[in-house]
């Protein structure tokens, strides 16, 4: 059995090929092909699948595609994708078009959801029954494993942790989605940078202000650097980030009685600075048991999207042929 994972992005498409021992046979990152419209893009993916199938014949091939945006995993329709720069491709029957070209019907799944499956298999080795994987970056994504299976919800949109409201939606900060007071507006890169700029304006002599002097845009790692030097403003930014994130995670744990939460993505690199405040929020919950038993893990692997897709392709295929099904 060969598992092919395809991670669709607005700039790059990543391909991962695994054998049934989960060993990586190939991985490839290519620029997203816009030159021949949506049909050319489908061919770009279909051609790769066909090449891999020929190369590893007669082994059967299973494919999973991860896409950002609004995905219908049942019909394989990409309802809306904010990243791909094609006109008029809302409600795009992508899985069906790949099938027409390759004869293989791929699983089409939200990319954060497949990244969560990658974490569940590679990092947790399927330990844990009910798991939330939080991806912390420009956006804040989530993926759920419930009862040891990927949970996508009724419409494929489960795990949208980043757009849970953690404050009054009438007055809180604006999120990239257009709403206010989403978790992402507080702990996504844009929200953290907003608080950094506010702190610099109020404390122009701080270590943070000096480190970022003259920079219109900056890397979040510099906020960690300032925190490492003991800058109170930088430490407060991370404390607030941990507190907000703690509120979001506590809400998810209360709703789903999770046993494991994994933090991944670029921002999780600053866990040293935000974790105490996050843990403090969890420690102060009144329903104690799930929080006392919760396993909180920080993943050092920044990108599980591609491998997660390929692992999920294998999982689906092996589940379909299992006599225990
Ligand atoms: Zn939002």
Of 198, 179, 178, 175, the C-alpha closest to 188 is 175
Angle (nearest 5°) at CA 176 between 282 and 247: 10
Stretch 253-264: mean pLDDT: 97
Q: From CA 305, how far away is CA 16, in angstroms rounded? A: 10
Tell how far the Cα of 293 is from the centroid of ligand 1, in angstroms: 30
- CA–chain centroid gap for 234, Å, is 26
Residue keyed to tokens 């407060």 = 236
The Å distance, Cα 75 to ligand 1 centre, comes to 26
Average pLDDT over residues 216-231: 94
Sorted by sequence, the CB contacts under 8 Å of residue 237 that are 6+ apart come out as 192, 195, 196, 199, 208, 223, 227
**CA 134 to ligand 1 center in whole angstroms:** 15
User: What per-residue confidence (pLDDT) applies to 79?
Assistant: 93
2 confidence band (pLDDT: 50, 70, 90):
very high
Over residues 42-80, the pLDDT tens digits come to 999 999 999 999 999 999 999 999 998 889 999 999 998
Average pLDDT over residues 154-162: 91
Q: Do domains 2-115+304-321 and 126-298 have the same CATH topology?
A: yes
Fold topology of 2-115+304-321: Nucleotidyltransferase; domain 5 (3.30.420)
Note whether 248 and 283 are within 8 A (CB).
Answer: no
Ligand 1 centroid from CA 160, angstroms: 9
pLDDT of residue 19: 95
Centroid of ligand 1 to alpha carbon of 161 (angstroms): 9
pLDDT of residue 324: 46
Confidence of residue 325 (pLDDT cuts 50, 70, 90): very low
**Distance in Å, CA 174 to ligand 1 centroid:** 8
CB-based contact 114:130 (threshold 8 Å): no
Does residue 217 carry a pLDDT above 90? Answer: no
How far, in Å, from the CA of 268 to the mean position of ligand 1?
19
* Distance between Cα 28 and ligand 1 center (Å): 32
* Domain range annotation of the chain: 2-115+304-321, 126-298
pTM of the model: 0.89
Q: What is the DSSP string of 138-194?
A: SSEEEEEEETTEEE-TTTS-TT-GGGSB-S-TTTSPBPTTS-BSBHHHHHSHHHHHH
Distance in Å, CA 252 to ligand 1 centroid: 16
Answer CATH for 126-298 from 3.10.20.340, 3.40.50.2300, 3.30.420.40, 3.40.50.1370: 3.30.420.40
Q: How far is CA 313 from the centre of its chain?
A: 17
What is d(CA 208, CA 231) in angstroms, rounded to the nearest whole number? 7
Span 11-45, pLDDT tens digits: 889 999 999 999 999 999 999 999 999 999 999 99
Q: By the 8 A CB rule, do 60 and 94 touch?
A: no
* pLDDT for residue 83 is more than 80: no
pLDDT at 105 over 50: yes
Judge contact between 71 and 110, C-beta under 8 A.
yes
pLDDT of residue 320: 66
CA of 35 to the centre of ligand 1 (A): 32
For residue 182, report the distance from its CA to the centre of ligand 1, in Å: 5
């Amino acid at each position: 059995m060969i598992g092919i994972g395809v991670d669709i992005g607005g700039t790059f498409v990543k391909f991962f090929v695994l054998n049934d021992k989960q060993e990586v046979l190939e991985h490839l990152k290519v620029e997203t092909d816009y030159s021949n419209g949506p049909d050319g893009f489908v061919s770009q993916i279909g051609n790769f699948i066909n090449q891999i199938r020929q190369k590893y014949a007669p082994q059967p091939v299973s494919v999973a595609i991860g896409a950002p945006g609004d995905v219908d995993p049942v019909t394989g329709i990409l309802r809306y994708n904010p990243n791909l720069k094609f006109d008029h491709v809302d409600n795009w029957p992508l899985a069906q078009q790949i099938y027409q070209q390759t004869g293989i019907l791929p699983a089409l799944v939200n990319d954060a959801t497949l990244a969560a499956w990658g974490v569940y298999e590679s990092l947790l080795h399927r330990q844990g029954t009910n798991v939330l994987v939080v991806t912390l970056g420009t956006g804040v994504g989530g993926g759920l494993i419930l009862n040891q299976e990927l949970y996508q919800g009724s419409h494929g949109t489960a795990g949208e942790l980043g757009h849970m409201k953690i404050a009054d939606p009438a007055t809180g900060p604006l999120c990239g989605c257009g709403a206010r007071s989403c978790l992402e507006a507080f702990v996504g890169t844009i929200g953290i940078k907003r608080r950094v700029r506010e702190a610099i304006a109020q404390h122009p002599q701080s270590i943070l202000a000096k480190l970022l002097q003259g920079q219109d845009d900056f890397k979040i790692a510099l906020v960690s650097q300032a925190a490492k030097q003991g800058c109170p403003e930088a430490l407060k930014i991370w404390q607030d980030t941990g507190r907000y994130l703690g509120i979001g995670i506590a809400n998810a744990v209360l709703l789903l009685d999770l046993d494991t939460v994994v933090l991944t993505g670029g921002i999780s690199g600053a866990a040293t600075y935000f974790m105490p405040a996050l843990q403090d929020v969890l420690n102060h919950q009144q329903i104690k048991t799930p929080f006392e038993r919760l396993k909180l893990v920080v993943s050092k692997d920044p990108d599980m999207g591609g491998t997660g897709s390929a692992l999920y392709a294998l999982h689906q295929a092996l589940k379909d042929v299992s006599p225990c099904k």
